[in-house]
Each structure stands twice: as structure tokens, then as C-alpha cells.
Amino acid sequence: MTILESMANEREIQEHLSIVRQRIESEGLSRLELKLRYRQLVEEHQDSGLTDDARELARAESELVREIIHESTPPQPTPAEVVERLKHENPAAAESLDWQLKLEAKRNTVAEAEAALAEAEERGWAIDSEGYRRRAAALSSAQEALGEMEARVPPMLEREAQAISYEQEATELMYSGSMLENSADDGVQRNAQKMLGRADELFERAGQLRTARPFSNESAVS
């Protein structure tokens, strides 16, 4: 008697798969181990040396394991959720990602406006019609806003590069100043204090660069 013949109906097959699921869950397998199990079952399903029933059962079990892997996969955060998380961990990265998302949204708006205008032309609508004018105005407005946003790319990147440069110099000064501030020589101590003061100043400048708003007109990115 073959494996599937011993399982006379679909309910028995489902009961078998339920037992397999319980066994897998009780083993507490990691995602990597589950993927290895899935690969093994797929190979069994493709093994011409096994009976058709054995390969079919391996296929059913592989689909079950794939389902378990999917269930154990944590949901991917949305871009907006990533931005919110980065605001606490890395404000500069959050600002950069938020800016990229807004820029992409504006590019999509331009593409939609272009498509609407092309449709109006294809349908042969009169250029002086309200619908055509409305689409042309939407495209012009979207293109203008996109141009303003893209024009801010160089200065935004330049500010970030300058902030990094300030931080690097400040870190070196803090290290050197900390090494020298306990010197017995008064002159060396004074120099160390100057280094530490300069480091604080540079860190502050870097912070100011990063907190500067990337857009002067918020409506341009709405």
C-alpha cells in the first residue's frame, strides 16, 4: 500500500499535515532551519527515484513549510515607519530618506500629470477646453515643484559632507585635547582646553547643518 493510498481522503492528508506542523513548531526551528527543511522537501519532490505518491507528499509538506516560513516572517515596515524610527536613531538619515520619499512622490505626480495630458491629446480634446487646461496646469505645477526639489540635491549633500567633515575634525581634537588636558605643563593644558573648545564648536556647527530644513517652502513637497 502506498503512502497516499493509506490516506484514503483529503481529510486524512490534512490531518497528517497538521501533525507535521505541530512537530515542526514543537522543534522550535529557526528560519534558516525551516528554509533548509523546505529545500530538502523540494528536492524530494523532484527526486525521480521516489514513487509518485512519496514525491506528492513531499510537495504537500514543502508547501506547508513554506507557509510556516511566511507566517514567521515579520511584516516589513513601511517607508514612513522607517523614517519615524530613524528620527530617534539617526536624524540625518531620517531627513534624507524622508526627502527621497517626497521627491519620488513628486516624480510620480509629474508622471501622472503627463499621462493625463497625453490622454487628453489622444482623445482629441480641444486645447481651450477646461479639462485640457486643468491637466496642463497640473503638469506645469508638478514640474515646477519637482524642479525646485531636485535643485536642492547639491546643497543638501554638500551640507551633509560638511557636517561629517566637522565631526571628524572635532573627534580628533577631542581625542588630542583629552590626552593633553591632564599635563603638568600649564601651556599644554591651555592648548588642550582650546582643542576641546574648538571640538565643541565644530560639533555644534555639524548639528546646525543637519537641523537646517531641506526645503524653504513646505508646499513644494506636499
Q: What is the pLDDT of residue 194?
A: 86
Q: What is the pLDDT of residue 126?
A: 58
Do 167 and 222 lie in one domain? The reply is yes
Q: 166 with 205: CB under 8 angstroms? A: yes
How many independent structural domains does the chain possess?
A: 3
Distance CA 28, CA 36 (A): 14
Where would I find the H helices in the chain?
Answer: 3-6, 10-27, 31-45, 52-72, 79-89, 91-122, 130-151, 153-180, 186-211
Written as tens digits, the pLDDT of the chain (222 aa) is 445 545 556 677 777 778 888 877 777 777 667 777 777 777 777 777 777 777 777 788 888 888 877 776 666 677 777 778 878 877 777 777 777 777 777 778 778 777 877 877 777 765 556 666 676 777 777 777 777 777 766 676 677 777 778 888 888 888 778 777 777 777 888 888 888 888 888 888 887 876 665 444 443 333
Do 91 and 56 lie in one domain? The reply is no
Do 169 and 158 lie in one domain? The reply is yes
Do 99 and 65 lie in one domain? The reply is no
Q: What is the pLDDT of residue 31?
A: 66
Q: 192 with 157: CB under 8 angstroms? A: no
- Point out the domain boundary residue: 124, 151, 178: 151
Whole domain around residue 96: which residue ranges?
77-151
**C-alpha closest to that of 31 among 75, 71, 76, 78:** 71
Digit-coded pLDDT (tens) for 67-118: 877 776 666 677 777 778 878 877 777 777 777 777 777 778 778 777 877 8
- Point out the domain boundary residue: 72, 93, 108: 72
Retrieve residue 87's grid coordinates.
Answer: 528620527
Q: What is the pLDDT of residue 153?
A: 66
Q: What is the pLDDT of residue 9?
A: 60
- Point out the domain boundary residue: 52, 72, 92: 72
Do 84 and 133 lie in one domain? The reply is yes
Do 222 and 161 lie in one domain? The reply is yes
Do 144 and 177 lie in one domain? The reply is no
Do 145 and 87 lie in one domain? The reply is yes
Q: What is the pLDDT of residue 73?
A: 66
